[in-house]
Structure 1
Amino acid sequence: MNTISYRWMTSLVFVLFAGLLGAWSAADASELPALNITQVSENVFSAIGATAAPSRDNFGHNNNLSFVITEGGVVVVNGGDNVLLAAALHRAIEERTDKPVRYVINENGQGHAFLGNSYWSDLGVTIIAQREAIEEIKAHGEASLSQMRARMGPVVTDARVVVPDVAVDDHYVLELASEPIELRRFGAAHSPGDLSVWLPKQRILIAGDIAFHERLLGIFPDSDVDAWIDSFDVMASLNPVVVIPGHGHPTDIETLRYFTQGYLQFLRDEIEVILDDDGGLSDAYEIDQSAYESLDTFDELARKNAGRLFRQMEEKLFQ
């Protein structure tokens, strides 16, 4: 199928999909969110999300949605939080190229990575994720969908969970003309199935949620902090020139090391002292984290992080 035919069919499917969504009554194509697109290189772009919790006001766009334009088509990183956000990203892509979107990569099994998959799937795009992320989507996708529906309201009435088509493990290469794109899992970290995208010719890394610097990272019940610290070193060994983190603007690896690996090591060391002194959870909550208080979401996450990591480390101590 030639490019013109593909684009005509894509437009037709988009219109039919929008109509079927009655969901669009409150937000038609002219009311899609305006995305803040950062151009990272000649062919790499990222829609930088808010460094805050997802909300109706920000259309759930609180993470980075990136895309790479190659001669063989476009690769999108993250399906988006919902179909409206996915459609807005598609519009931004079509403003920059007539190449079709070939692949969508979900960086993990969290809602903002996969809840927009249905938009891309209905256009015939192949969706890829790490194997553990796919299991997360299967197990918890409907719960994430319910939360998103409650937040977004009637504009996503017909939203549904779409499980990725292709499961990858630690390394997978997409060959698209002259631009090889590598999918990399550096090890356990922020959440099950963390997956990064590496462009070796340009030395650009779309890291995903293994790396933070403008907002405080979150430690979740399924985060593995010890492994995350080690996985960060594996990632850094690529010596990327530019890194697009999961949240926040593109930056360098040393900035991310300070605010991600450095923060994790600091918190772990502080909790080790508390445990050695037979301290308790209340002591963990009082750890002085003020060195990181300039980061967005600090007030929401700092004490939670300390409490969750304390419980994890205490449990390991008595195993």
Structure 2
Amino acid sequence: MFEAIITLCLSLSDGPCRDHLLPGYEAQTQAACQVALSDNPPDLRVFTGLQAQGIATCQPMGETLSMTEVAPGVFVHVGRIEEPNASNRGDVSNMGFIIGETSVAVIDAGSARWIGEALWRAIRTRTDKPVSHAIVTHMHPDHALGVALFSEAGAAVVGHTGLPRALADRQANYLESLTSLIGAEALLGTRAPEVDIAVTDQLQIDLGARPLTMQAWPVAHTGNDLTVWDTETGTFFAGDLIFDRHLPALDGRLTGWRAVLRALQGLDIERVVPGHGAAALDWPLGSEPMARYLSVLEKDTRAAVEAGTRLGTAVEEIAQSERSLWQLFDAYNPRNATVAFTELEWE
């Protein structure tokens, strides 16, 4: 298969540069791809600030994400359990897509445009049905920043009603941080998506005999968590409301997250796709490690608050019994303890 590519640079004089996928021009032959480009030239205005090195050309299909089919028509890419760095180029979270009879829905698309491009290719190797919806489970860059490519391809971007403001407030900081972590070249072309459909409670969409139910949750992992339930297979995309092996990261309210987790545990679902870790978890068994950690985090934090322990000391003590049970513990537990302490101190 051939696809349309254009090389874009931050500066034509000294780069960095990266080949960018132009979605929607895929064809079985290079000639057919070139005809599509000629008939419908791409709108490059979405790449504000980048300079084109030459014109769009058709090339063999590039890098494609690995996918696991966790249920019929439900595919998941498993990101690395690592902090973003130059080696992993930001591929550190789970994402996926669901194929219906008439269209496809994407759920999250990683932290950079190149990941969204590789996810697009993974879809195109399995179906030529249009991607009608791109669903963002929450504001964090490792889930949200690769989604804009699907908007360019005509998908409606769906998110929690609180997502647009959260992304607007944080996009600049996210992009600055990721540039230092994964490098400017890997991040070229990346921008926050614009939300077309904001979910305040529940929303159902149909991919063609494939209904998906989206649920907006109260403040938990973040203030804009959204889940996706494929009732056809009982598969539930939880975003970062559920972590596996990767220590949970608290950026909302601890008590709210525990309440939401209890609600999730009561749902009649077959499997959950966590935001990090395994491609899918049996349910509710897969929730037990996280429920235990959040319980310990709350118990230890309350004990520190009641004992009058100073925050700096408490952060070094809270939830230390969980250290050996999670990856990235030292990167996230101090942050979790700080957020939890601040919340419970003022209850």
TM-score normalised by L of structure 1? 0.86
Tell me the C-alpha RMSD between the 2 structures.
2.9
Asked if 1 retains the 8 angstrom alpha-carbon contact of 2:204 and 2:212, the reply is yes
Query: Which residue of the other structure, out of 273, 283, 287, is the alignment partner of 1:244?
Result: 273
What CA distance in whole angstroms lies between the structure 1 residues aligned with 2:52 and 2:325? 39
TM-superposed deviation, 1:185: 2.1
In structure 2, the partner of 1:106 is: 136
Matched residue SS, 1:88: helix
Query: Which residue of the other structure, out of 237, 256, 260, is the alignment partner of 1:227?
Result: 256
Does residue 341 of structure 2 align to residue 314 of structure 1? no
What CA distance in whole angstroms lies between the structure 1 residues aligned with 2:143 and 2:185? 21
Q: Which amino acid aligns with 1:186?
A: W
Asked if 1 retains the 8 angstrom alpha-carbon contact of 2:61 and 2:121, the reply is no
Query: Which residue of the other structure, out of 139, 142, 146, is the alignment partner of 2:176?
Result: 146
What CA distance in whole angstroms lies between the structure 1 residues aligned with 2:121 and 2:135? 18
**Structure 1: stretches of 5+ with no match in the other structure:** 1-5
Asked if 2 retains the 8 angstrom alpha-carbon contact of 1:115 and 1:145, the reply is no
Asked if 2 retains the 8 angstrom alpha-carbon contact of 1:36 and 1:49, the reply is no
What CA distance in whole angstroms lies between the structure 2 residues aligned with 1:108 and 1:166? 14
Query: Which residue of the other structure, out of 46, 55, 74, is the alignment partner of 2:76?
Result: 46
Matched residue SS, 2:284: helix
In structure 2, the partner of 1:273 is: 303
Asked if 1 retains the 8 angstrom alpha-carbon contact of 2:245 and 2:326, the reply is yes
Query: Which residue of the other structure, out of 287, 291, 296, is the alignment partner of 2:318?
Result: 287
Q: Which amino acid aligns with 1:297?
A: L
Matched residue SS, 2:142: helix
What CA distance in whole angstroms lies between the structure 2 residues aligned with 1:159 and 1:213? 27
In structure 2, the partner of 1:166 is: 197
Could you say which structure has the higher strand fraction? 2
In structure 1, the partner of 2:148 is: 118
What CA distance in whole angstroms lies between the structure 2 residues aligned with 1:181 and 1:136? 24
Matched residue SS, 1:52: coil
In structure 1, the partner of 2:328 is: 297
TM-superposed deviation, 1:200: 1.6
What CA distance in whole angstroms lies between the structure 2 residues aligned with 1:158 and 1:288? 39
TM-superposed deviation, 1:9: 7.2
Matched residue SS, 2:300: helix
1:75-90 superposed matches below 5 A: 75-90=105-120
In structure 2, the partner of 1:184 is: 215
What CA distance in whole angstroms lies between the structure 1 residues aligned with 2:303 and 2:186? 50
Q: Which amino acid aligns with 2:265?
A: A
Say if 1:23 and 1:117 are closer, same or farther in 2 by CA, change over 3 A.
farther
In structure 1, the partner of 2:230 is: 199
Query: Which residue of the other structure, out of 236, 246, 250, is the alignment partner of 1:215?
Result: 246
Say if 1:188 and 1:152 are closer, same or farther in 2 by CA, change over 3 A.
same
TM-superposed deviation, 1:97: 1.2
Asked if 2 retains the 8 angstrom alpha-carbon contact of 1:66 and 1:76, the reply is yes
In structure 2, the partner of 1:3 is: none
Deviations 1:247-295 (A, max 9, x none): 1111123344222222111111112222222333213422352335232
What CA distance in whole angstroms lies between the structure 1 residues aligned with 2:53 and 2:110? 17
What CA distance in whole angstroms lies between the structure 1 residues aligned with 2:83 and 2:41? 30
What CA distance in whole angstroms lies between the structure 2 residues aligned with 1:116 and 1:129? 14
TM-superposed deviation, 1:55: 2.0
Query: Which residue of the other structure, out of 146, 154, 157, is the alignment partner of 1:127?
Result: 157
In structure 2, the partner of 1:69 is: 99
Could you say which structure has the higher helix fraction? 1
Say if 1:52 and 1:114 are closer, same or farther in 2 by CA, change over 3 A.
same
How many residue pairs were aligned?
Answer: 307
TM-superposed deviation, 1:56: 2.6
TM-superposed deviation, 1:239: 2.3
Matched residue SS, 2:81: coil
Asked if 2 retains the 8 angstrom alpha-carbon contact of 1:207 and 1:245, the reply is yes
Q: Which amino acid aligns with 1:112?
A: D
TM-superposed deviation, 1:93: 0.8
Asked if 2 retains the 8 angstrom alpha-carbon contact of 1:82 and 1:115, the reply is yes
Asked if 2 retains the 8 angstrom alpha-carbon contact of 1:60 and 1:82, the reply is yes
What CA distance in whole angstroms lies between the structure 2 residues aligned with 1:211 and 1:305? 15
TM-superposed deviation, 1:31: 9.4
TM-score normalised by L of structure 2? 0.80
